[in-house]
Amino acid sequence: MNIFKKLSFVTKSIATTTALILLVGVVLIVSSLKVQNEVLITEMEKQATEIAVLWGKTIDPKLVENAAKEKDFDDKAQTELIAMFDNISKTNPNVAQGYLFNSELIEGNKSAIIANPTHIVDVLKENNIKIGDLNEHPKATVEAIREMNETKEMTASEIYDDLLGTWITVMYPIKNSSGEVFAFFGVDVDASMVKNGTKEFLFNSLLILIPAMIIIVLLQVFFTRRSFKPLKQLSFGINEMRNGNLDIKLPTREDDLGKINEAFNEMAYELKSMIQSIRKTSDTVLQSSELVTKVTDQSKDHSIKINENIKEMTAGIQAQEVSVMESAGAIEQIASEIGSIANSSQDVTAISKNMEDYAVQGLDAINKVVSQMEIINDTVQNSSNIIGLLKERSDEITSILDVITGISNQTNLLALNAAIEAARAGEHGKGFSVVAQEVRILAEESSKSTEKISKIIEEIQNETKNAVSSMKIGTIETDKGTKIAQTTGEMFVKIKEIADQISNQIEGVSAASQEISAGTEEVSASVNDLTAIAQKNSNSTYEIEESTKEQVESINQLSDAAKELNELAYELQTLITKFKA
C-alpha cells in the first residue's frame, strides 16, 4: 500500500485501469463458466433421465423381487437383468452402467445389491461379494436416494468424482404392487465432459484475455502518457518555481491540461511582478525599521536611567516616610508609657504609704507575737517540769508493783506448801487445804492484776517519755520562734524606713513624668504633621514611578516591535533573493 502511494499519478491511473479491466475479464470468465456448467449439467441430467425412463419402464418389479431373492448371479432373473444392463451400456456410449439396489439405506449410506452389468458382476465375484450384500454409496448418491424415498419420484444426483471418473447418477424408483418404493434402477452417466469442458473453456478464455489485456495496457500507457504530458510539464514548472526560477514558460495546448499550463504561465508572470514590488518595499521597510530601532534603543536607555533615579528617590522618600511613621509611633508610645508611669507613680505613692502603715501594724503584731511566744515558752517549760514529776511518780509506782509482785509470788508459794501439808494431814487437813487453795487463787489474781498494772504503768512511762521529748522539742522550737519573731520585728522597722524613702522618691518621679508627658504630646503632634507630609510625597513619587514604568514598558514594546520588524525585513530580503526576478 505504501509503495502504491509513492507511485506517480500516471502510473497509478494505468495500474487502476488495468486492475479494473482484469477484474471485469475475470468476472466475465467466471460468469460464462458458471453458465456453461449449468447448461452442460442440465443437458447431462436430461439425457440420463431419458435413458432411465426409457429402460426403467421395461423393468418388471416382480422380476426385480425374484432377482433380490436369488443367491447366485447365474440364476434366471439375474441373467435376464445382467443382459439388459449390458445392452444399455452398448446402445448408450455415455452410460457407464445400469444397476439395481435396494432403496432402504442401512447405516446411513449403504444399501443391498440386487443386480449389476457383467463387468461389475465379475468384480463382485472376484471379491466374493454376493447378492444382498451392502454397498457403500458416494455422498451425492446418498442424498439423491433419500430424496427419491421421500418424493417417490425419479431423482438425479449432483456431479461427483470417484476413483473411476466423474459421474452423474439418475435413480428411477421401482415400486411394488402396493405402490411402495422397494428398489431403484440407477444409471451412471459419464460427466467428465463437464469437467473437461470447464478446463477447455477456461484455457481458451485465458488465451484470449491475456493478449487482449497486454494490448489494452500498452494502448493505455501510450495514450495516458500522451494525455498527461502537460501534468508532467506542470510538475517540472512547479519544481523550478520552488527553486526560485520565475523566468519559466510551459508549452500549452487547447485541451483542459493545456489550459492549466497556460494559467500557470500567467501565475508565474504575476508572481514575478509581485516579487519585484515586494523587494522594493522590503528595502524601504528595512531602512525604516533600522532607524526606528536606533531611536527606540536610545529612548529606552534614557527611560531606564530616569526610572532608576525615580526608583532611588522613591525608595528614599519611602524610607523617610517609614522612619517618620516609626518615630511618630515611638513618640506616641513614649508619651503613652510616660503617662502610664505618671499614673503608676501616683498609684505607687499611695501603695507606699499603705505599705508604711502596714509596716507599723506588722511591727505591732510582731511585738505581740514575741510576747505571746515568751508566754508559750514559759508554759511549755512548766508542762515539762510537771511531766518530769509524773515520770518520777510512775517510777515509784513501778517499784511498789515490784514489791506487790514479790509478795504475791511468795503467797502463792506458801499456799502451795500449805496444800502439800494439808494433803499429808489427810482428813484433818481438808479444811486447811481449802483455805490454802483460796489463798493460792487470790495470790494468782493479785499477780495477774499487778502484771496488768505494770503494763499500764509501762505504757504511761513510754508516753511520758515521748511527752518529755516533745516538750523539749517544743521548748527548742518556741525559742527559735521567739528569735525569728524578734528578727522579723527588726526587718519591719527597716521596711518602714525604706518605704518612707521610696514614697518620697516616687512623689518626685510622678511630678517629673507629668511634665515629660506634656512635652511629648507637643512633639507627637509635630511628628504627625511631618508623617502626613511624608505620605503625600511618597504617594506623588509612587505615581511618578508608575508612570515611568509604563513609559519604559511602552518603549520596550516599541523596541521589540522595531526589532521584530527589522527581523521580518531581513527574512523578507532573504526570501526574495531566492527568486530570479
pLDDT tens digits for 467-482? 667 667 767 876 776 7
At 59, which CATH number?
3.30.450.20
Residue 240 lies in a domain: no
Give me the amino acid identity at 332: E
* Cβ-contact 428, 344 below 8 angstroms: no
Q: Do 483 and 337 fall within a single domain?
A: yes
Q: Do 148 and 28 fall within a single domain?
A: yes
Q: In Å, what is the CA distance from 13 to each residue of 17, 210, 225, 255?
A: 6, 20, 10, 19
Q: Do 201 and 310 fall within a single domain?
A: no
Residue 233 lies in a domain: no
Residue ending a domain, among 224, 255, 278, is 224
Q: Do 299 and 219 fall within a single domain?
A: no
Return the pLDDT at 471.
66
**CA 279, CA 286: separation in Å to the nearest integer?**
10
In this structure, the number of other CB atoms found within 10 A of the CB of residue 403 comes to: 10
Mention every residue, 6+ apart, whose C-beta is less than 8 A from residue 145.
Answer: 103, 105, 111, 137, 155, 171, 184
Mention every residue, 6+ apart, whose C-beta is less than 8 A from residue 398.
Answer: 454, 457, 458, 461
Residue 27 lies in a domain: yes
**CA 513, CA 343: separation in Å to the nearest integer?**
9
Q: Do 150 and 70 fall within a single domain?
A: yes
Residue 253 lies in a domain: no
**CA 482, CA 441: separation in Å to the nearest integer?**
60
pLDDT over 60 (residue 581): no
At 403, which CATH number?
1.10.287.950
Q: Do 190 and 298 fall within a single domain?
A: no
* Cβ-contact 246, 273 below 8 angstroms: no
**CA 133, CA 113: separation in Å to the nearest integer?**
6
Q: Do 215 and 340 fall within a single domain?
A: no
Helix (H) or strand (E) holding 117: none
Q: Do 208 and 318 fall within a single domain?
A: no
pLDDT over 80 (residue 109): yes
Residue 261 lies in a domain: no
CA nearest to 194, candidates 166, 157, 161, 163? 166
What's the pLDDT band for 510 if we cut at 50, 70, 90? Answer: low
Q: Do 209 and 320 fall within a single domain?
A: no
What's the pLDDT band for 121 if we cut at 50, 70, 90? Answer: very high
CA nearest to 482, candidates 377, 570, 559? 377
Range of the domain at 524: 293-574
Q: Do 392 and 526 fall within a single domain?
A: yes
Mention every residue, 6+ apart, whose C-beta is less than 8 A from residue 404.
Answer: 446, 450
Residue 300 lies in a domain: yes
**CA 383, CA 395: separation in Å to the nearest integer?**
18
Residue 266 lies in a domain: no
Measured on CA atoms in the order 59, 60, 65, 68, is the torsion positive or negative? negative
Residue ending a domain, among 189, 205, 224, is 224
What's the pLDDT band for 40 if we cut at 50, 70, 90? Answer: low
What's the mean pLDDT when you consider all of the chain? 75
Which of 43-52, 369-378, 440-449 has the weakest average pLDDT?
369-378
**CA 152, CA 178: separation in Å to the nearest integer?**
13
Residue ending a domain, among 224, 246, 263, is 224
Q: Do 327 and 462 fall within a single domain?
A: yes
**CA 379, CA 400: separation in Å to the nearest integer?**
32
Tell me if residue 166 falls in helix, strand or coil: strand
Residue 252 lies in a domain: no
Q: Do 430 and 538 fall within a single domain?
A: yes
Question: How many domains are there within the chain?
Answer: 2
What's the pLDDT band for 412 if we cut at 50, 70, 90? Answer: confident
Question: Cell numbers 507613680 label which residue?
Answer: 345
